[in-house]
Copies of this chain bind each other. A is one copy, B any other.
Amino acid sequence: MKFSKKSEYGLRALLELTHAYGSTTLQRHDIAVRQHIPIEFLEQILLALKRAGLLSSKRGVKGGYSLIKQPKEISLGHVIRILDGPLAPIGCVSKTAYQKCSDCPYAKRAHCPVQQVMGSVRDAIAGILDNYTLADFAAKSKTA
């Protein structure tokens, strides 16, 4: 029941990019150094975030990455789903990537006890992460 390093690194990288939002681009090298992230791994993460439409990038000598959406419009939940997949603790309660449970004897019944609790866990997690934006997130780290 853990988030991956990928998500953690991704959030920390976005913290840097949020601070730079509207002023400069950041190179993966700078982000890697400031946040202590292995650079080749960081690259994968930045590319994934780019493909998801959160970042733009520029190649060549003066290249780098920058946020292309407003920090207050990107939720941590969104970021984590991109990098780590669904937030739900089991497939059959995911709203973004529902998967029918194959072997559960309650699957065909009106309600499954496991599904009920896990559904509320999912809602609690999503309730926090989908309402917490990069802007909120970055505000915390400025005062630190």
Q: In the bound complex, do residue B121 and residue A125 qualify as a contact, i.e. CB atoms below 8 Å apart? A: yes
Q: A114-B12, A116-B140 are in contact. Are A89 and B2 (CB under 8 A)?
A: yes
A111 contacts B140, CB within 8 Å? yes
Between A and B, 7 residue pairs with Cβ closer than 8 Å are A1-B3, A1-B89, A8-B114, A11-B114, A12-B114, A113-B137, A116-B140
Min Cβ gap A78→B in Å is 13
- A53 at interface (Cβ–Cβ under 8 A)? no
> A103-B36, A105-B35 are known contacts. Are A144 and B85 too (CB-CB below 8 A)?
no
A124 in complex: contacting residue of B15, B76, B88, B125, CB < 8 Å: B125
Report how far A45 CA is from B124 CA in the complex, Å: 27
